[in-house]
A = this chain, B = another copy of it.
C-alpha cells in the first residue's frame, strides 16, 4: 500500500468527520491520481500535443502501481483530455492535428461526406473589444461591463455562406485578439486559442432552437428572412468547468443538418 498519496484506508481525507454522520467524502486512489495529473495539465506542465510521462514514470512519481495510474489515465482519455497511442505514449489532447477537423461542430452536409466540401472559408466581419452586456456577462461568469472580445464571422462551404457566428470571449484571457489572427490561422479556431492564448476548450454545452433571422442576419447568410434557421448557443469550458467562450450560431439547414448520436 502506498503512502505518498492518501491510500484507500487512511482515506476520508483527514476531514473533520461531521458528528457521526456518514458523509462519503471518500475518493479512490486512482481518482486522486487523476486529479493530480489534471492539475499538471491545467498548470501547463505538458503542452497540447506533447506526450505526458509514461505510465511507469507516473507510477514511480506518485508511488502507486502502474495499474492505478492506468485507471486514472483511462478516465482522462474517456473525457478526451488525453489521447493514448499504443507503442508511442499518451498525449495531451489538442484541437489541432485531429482527424475530424472541427471537434465541436456537428453540422454535416446532407450528402454525408464532410471531406468532399473541405474546410470552411472564414470571413471575419468584426472583431473588437467591448463591454459585456448583463446577459453575456452572466453566462460567462463575469460582471456586466467587464471587457470581452466580440467577433462575428461567416463560414461558407463550397462558397455558400452557411454559418453566422457571434463569439464572446473573456477580455482578460483573450487580450489582443485580432481579426487577422482569426482569419490567418490555418486550422480550427480552438487550436489557435491553444497556441496564442494558452486556452484549451475541453467540453461544451449547446442549446438549440429553430428561429427566423433578423434582416441583417438574413443578409449575411444570403437567405430570405422567412428561412427558418438553427440557433445554436454554445458555451465552451476549459479545465475545471470554467466557461471561456460563448458562441451564438445560426446554421442554414437546407443543405446541411445537425447530427447527434444518442446512447
Contact = CB atoms under 8 A, between A and B. Distances in A.
A99 interface: no
Interface in A123-138: none
Interface residues of A, number: 32
Contacts of A226: 212, 226
Nearest to A232: B260
A175 B80 CA distance: 43
A27 to B, nearest CB: 15
B203 A228 contact: no
Interface in A59-86: 78-80
A206 interface: yes
A interface secondary structure, majority:
strand
A211 B208 contact: no
A55 B262 CA distance: 28
Interface stretch (A113-121, A214-222, A251-259): A251-259
A150 to B, nearest CB: 22
Contacts of A3: none
A160 interface: no
Contacts of A78: 78
Contact of A106 (B104, B253, B260, B263): B260
A210 B210 contact: yes
A230 B208 contact: yes
Contacts of A191: none
A153 B262 CA distance: 22
Interface of A: 78-80, 103-104, 106, 202-212, 226, 228-231, 234, 251, 253, 257-263
12 contacts: A80-B263, A203-B261, A203-B263, A205-B260, A205-B261, A206-B260, A207-B257, A208-B257, A208-B258, A208-B259, A210-B229, A211-B253
